[in-house]
Structure 1
Amino acid sequence: MGAVERMTITVPAEMAETLRQTVASGEYASASEVVREALRAWTRSRDAERQELEALREAIKAGLDSGPGIPAEQVFAELRARYSVKP
């Protein structure tokens, strides 16, 4: 794990109680263990969000770089004409 740094955090009473109950149940050995697990989950979630955002940015850029768009109404009109669909 590397160097360990002691920190003091403040949480709402409900969270503190949940944390105490979780440790008391034996699911975790200490409150620190619960917080470390929560931070690991948060970090994974944050990393996934960043990757998704980057993929979205790349998709938008690819779309913009692909050339001019066609107005949606034109596309729908062509589809209606092709397949004889009445609006």
Structure 2
Amino acid sequence: MPDIQKISVAVTGDQLSAMRDAVATGDYATTSEIVREAVRDWQLKRAQRQDELACLRQAWNEGKESGGRALFDVEEVLVRAQARRDLSDFG
């Protein structure tokens, strides 16, 4: 069994009421179970954000290292982006 540590967490009255309702309806066994699930979800989202940031940093660094820069028309970039978005709406 994992090492369980106790902490104190402050929640709003509405949040506590929702948690107690979830326990009362049998969706969860305890409010602690709800908090553990919330923490697991947070851990997953945080890991995903860190992975996405690492990918962005890598792409940024690769772009900087490539050295090549070219002038571009901002309006043309926006038109192409809009066209791609419109196509993806139908795909």
Distance 1:43 1:12 in 2: 22
Q: Which moved more, 1:60-69 or 1:1-10?
A: 1-10
Whichever residue aligns with residue 13 of structure 1, its letter is G
Deviations 1:4-46 (A, max 9, x none): 1112211011111111111111011000000000100000000
Residue number in structure 2 paired with 1:42: 42
User: How is 1:51-70 mapped onto 2 (pairs within 5 angstroms)?
Assistant: 51-70=51-70
Distance 1:31 1:43 in 2: 18
**Superposition CA RMSD, Å:** 1.2
Q: Which moved more, 1:1-10 or 1:23-32?
A: 1-10
Find the structure with the greater CA-based Rg: 1
Gap regions ≥5 residues in structure 1: 77-87
TM-score by length of 2: 0.76
Distance 1:25 1:43 in 2: 26
Deviation at 1:48, TM superposition (A): 0.2
Deviation at 1:67, TM superposition (A): 1.3
Answering whether residue 2 of structure 2 is matched by residue 29 of structure 1, we say no
Distance 2:59 2:69 in 1: 15
Equivalent pairs counted in the alignment come to 74
Distance 2:42 2:3 in 1: 20
Identity %: 34
